[in-house]
Amino acid sequence: MAKQLILVRHAKSDWGDFTLKDFDRPLNPRGHKNAPEMVERLIAKGIKPEAVVSSPALRAITTAKYFAAGWQTDAAQLTTEPSIYEATTNTLLRVVNQLDNQFDRIALFGHNPGLTDLLNYLSEGQISDMPTCSVAIIDFQFDDWTLVSRGTGDLVLFDYPKSGLD
């Protein structure tokens, strides 16, 4: 079966406490509102991954947990991957290439600029910026994650909280 990658940028984070490390920034009220709304949009389209992989940064894992709850994902299907945090395109590509082939649809939660760069690299997309809590879905016409590389995917959905799409 073909592979499908769901890229999700973390929801809006809180910059209020400058004593916190970037890694430890929580979601702000808008982030807590947007994450459940965005997963509901995906559920309405029948989109549910078989596995969820997230950056361990607080704002990313919190976003991933909102989506996982909406998707009723088993806790064992939610894993963290430290290399996603502050990752370059090459690092993110390595993460994707190492995904478990038993899963055909996987959601990956991370950060910019890495996710936007990865999206454009894989799909030859023209997305200038993935806003917070945005979702991009890329289809691949093969059944092995190791084959994912530049321009091998088709961007089939791009949505974000302020898009006005339903």
Tens digits of per-residue pLDDT, 110-133?
999 999 999 999 998 899 999 999
Q: Tell me the one-letter amino acid at 128.
A: S
pLDDT of residue 74: 85
Please calculate the CA angle 132-121-159 and round it to the nearest 5 degrees.
Answer: 35
**Once rounded to an integer, what is the mean pLDDT over residues 93-102?**
97
Number of neighbouring beta carbons within 10 Å of residue 61: 18
pLDDT of residue 16: 86
For residue 165, pLDDT over 80 is answered with no
Q: What pTM does this model have?
A: 0.96
Beta bridge partners of 158: 136
